[in-house]
């Protein structure tokens, strides 16, 4: 599957800078009063050390990482849910994403005016959350009204989603995101077509000053307290992340060490999104190429086959499966097979993160 993450935030929070850092892109960053309308769209490879080692193992010419699409969505303003600013278009862009990355301004560059007039990440978070909640509230309200009206006039319409709609309406009207309504998988599935924004996983990014890396400001502490366990909060400097990309990997490593950065924030960000979305990676390996693929956790071998190609899904015979860690104990795939360590699985077998698959098929 192609994972799409939407980057949102108020103007001048550093969204485009982060987008460029993630995608190694060159989208224009500017100190602007008005946000640009069209989103920047770019892909970033998902870095996975296991794939590097698989390439060496197979001596493959080509390595194809899984990739993630990032959408840098133009600045949200207060009142977006009511169609103010570029409100409706803004919201439409987020509807198509799998998860939301919300950038909160913590850096204090006097040349870059903060959207709220002062550095106030907590305020920015509340502004963003509120707009998303209000947008969802409108959608839920309309849907409930429509169903109740049909019931009154005795019209037969599909309304098995009504209890779930009412459940999220209740939390939304209390100013909380729909994801806190405790819906079951089944109920969520029923609401899928509405693409509720606050049902999507969200990850907050505190975009801090480069000099503040490793230290904790008051702003950051209150943000941490507010978010608590509700969502992941990632602390980074988008500017530094972008700068690190300009360096060779050795230079970047040294510079990171100097700054006290243990792991690239970009890798952490992507991993967090994988966790939030319950996604896993499986591999295919041949001399020609090694490749990483993204599927939802709990997927079957048949689903994995379909990810590679619809023909392979259609003509599926069996899958040979071995966990990455297990495979690495052998010199070759065939050696593992001879020792009986490669499982032969049917369509229904559940694929786990890190499994390497050889799929036999016939079309």
Ligand X SMILES: Nc1nc2c(ncn2[C@@H]2O[C@H](COP(=O)(O)OP(=O)(O)O)[C@@H](O)[C@H]2O)c(=O)[nH]1
Residues that bind Mg ion in the complex, under the rule CB under 5 A: 15-16
Neighbouring C-beta atoms of residue 275, cutoff 10 Å? 13
Contact of 48 with 324, CB cutoff 8 Å: no
- Between 73 and 270, CB nearer to ligand X: 73
C-alpha angle with apex 68: 267 to 301, nearest 5 degrees?
100
* Run of H or E residues at 276: helix 265-276
What SS3 class is residue 360? Answer: strand
- Between 31 and 310, CB nearer to ligand X: 31
Contact of 300 with 350, CB cutoff 8 Å: yes
Q: Which of 41, 47, 78, 109 binds ligand X (CB under 6 A)?
A: 109
Q: Is residue 93 a contact residue for ligand X (CB under 6 A)? A: no
Q: Is residue 81 a contact residue for ligand X (CB under 6 A)? A: no
CB of 27 to ligand X, least distance (A): 8
Contact of 308 with 293, CB cutoff 8 Å: yes
Length of the chain counted residue by residue: 363
Find the radius of gyration of the CA atoms of the chain.
23
CB of 32 to Mg ion, least distance (A): 7
Closest CA to 12 of 70, 75, 87: 75
Binding characters for ligand X, 214-243, by CB under 6 A (x = yes): -----------------------xxx----
CB of 69 to ligand X, least distance (A): 17
Q: Is residue 265 a contact residue for ligand X (CB under 6 A)? A: no
Q: Token match 């100097």: residue?
A: 258
- Between 75 and 354, CB nearer to Mg ion: 75
CB of 244 to ligand X, least distance (A): 12
- The token pair that represents 91 in the structure block: 């919201």
The secondary structure of 127-180 as a DSSP string is: HHHHHHHHHHHHHHHHHHHHHHHHHHTT-----TTHHHHHHHHHHHHTT--GGG
Q: Is residue 212 a contact residue for ligand X (CB under 6 A)? A: no
Q: Give the full edge-to-edge strand order of the sheet including 279-285.
A: 62-64, 289-296, 279-285, 355-361, 316-323, 343-345
Q: Is residue 9 a contact residue for ligand X (CB under 6 A)? A: yes
Binding characters for ligand X, 148-187, by CB under 6 A (x = yes): ----------------------------------------
* SS percent in the chain: helix, strand, coil, step 5: 45, 20, 35
Residue 31 interacts with which of ligand X, Mg ion, none, CB < 5 to 8 Å by class: ligand X
Q: Report the DSSP beta bridge partners of residue 345.
A: 319
CB of 39 to ligand X, least distance (A): 11
- Between 41 and 64, CB nearer to ligand X: 41
CB of 74 to Mg ion, least distance (A): 7
Residue 238 interacts with which of Mg ion, ligand X, none, CB < 5 to 8 Å by class: ligand X
Please tell me the distance from the alpha carbon of residue 188 to that of residue 190, in angstroms, as a whole number.
Answer: 5
CB of 233 to Mg ion, least distance (A): 21
Q: Is residue 39 a contact residue for ligand X (CB under 6 A)? A: no
Residue 354 interacts with which of ligand X, Mg ion, none, CB < 5 to 8 Å by class: none
CB of 275 to ligand X, least distance (A): 24
Q: Near ligand X by CB under 6 A, which window of 29-37, 50-58, 262-270, 315-323?
A: 29-37
* Run of H or E residues at 316: strand 316-323
The secondary structure of 297-308 as a DSSP string is: TT-BHHHHHHHH
Q: Is residue 116 a contact residue for ligand X (CB under 6 A)? A: no
User: Residues in the site for ligand X, rule: CB under 6 A?
Assistant: 9, 11-17, 29-31, 75, 107, 109, 112, 207, 209, 237-239
């Amino acid at each position: 599957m192609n994972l799409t993450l939407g980057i949102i935030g108020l103007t001048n929070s550093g969204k485009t800078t982060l987008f460029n850092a993630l995608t190694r892109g060159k989208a224009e960053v500017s100190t602007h009063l008005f946000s640009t309308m069209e989103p920047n769209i770019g892909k970033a490879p998902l870095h996975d050390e296991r794939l590097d080692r698989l390439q060496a193992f197979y001596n493959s010419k080509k390595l194809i990482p899984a990739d993630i699409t990032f959408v840098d969505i133009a600045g949200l303003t207060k009142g977006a849910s009511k169609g103010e600013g570029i409100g409706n278009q803004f919201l439409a862009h987020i509807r198509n994403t799998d998860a939301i990355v919300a950038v909160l301004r913590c850096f204090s560059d006097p040349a870059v005016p903060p959207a709220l007039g002062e550095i106030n990440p907590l305020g920015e978070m509340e502004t963003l959350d509120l707009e998303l909640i209000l947008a969802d509230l409108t959608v839920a309200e309309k849907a409930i009204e429509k169903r109740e009206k049909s019931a009154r006039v005795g019209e037969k319409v599909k309304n098995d989603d009504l209890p779930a709609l009412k459940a999220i309406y209740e939390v939304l009207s209390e100013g909380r995101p729909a994801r806190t309504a405790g819906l079951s998988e089944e109920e969520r599935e029923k609401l899928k077509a509405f693409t509720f924004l606050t049902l999507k996983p969200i990850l907050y990014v505190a975009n801090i000053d480069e000099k503040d890396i490793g230290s904790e400001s008051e702003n950051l502490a209150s943000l941490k307290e507010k978010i608590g366990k509700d969502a992941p909060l990632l602390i980074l400097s988008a500017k530094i992340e972008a700068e690190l990309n300009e360096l060779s990997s050795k230079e970047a490593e040294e510079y990171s060490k100097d700054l006290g950065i243990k792991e690239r924030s970009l890798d952490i960000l992507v991993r967090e999104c994988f966790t939030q979305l319950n996604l896993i990676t499986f591999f295919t390996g041949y001399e020609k190429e090694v490749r990483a693929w993204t599927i939802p956790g709990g997927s079957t071998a048949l689903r994995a086959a379909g990810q590679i190609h619809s023909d392979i899904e259609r003509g599926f015979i069996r899958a040979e499966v071995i966990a990455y860690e297990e495979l690495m104990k052998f010199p070759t795939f065939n050696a593992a097979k001879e020792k009986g360590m490669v499982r032969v699985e049917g369509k229904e077998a559940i694929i786990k993160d890190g499994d390497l698959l050889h799929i036999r098929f016939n079309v």
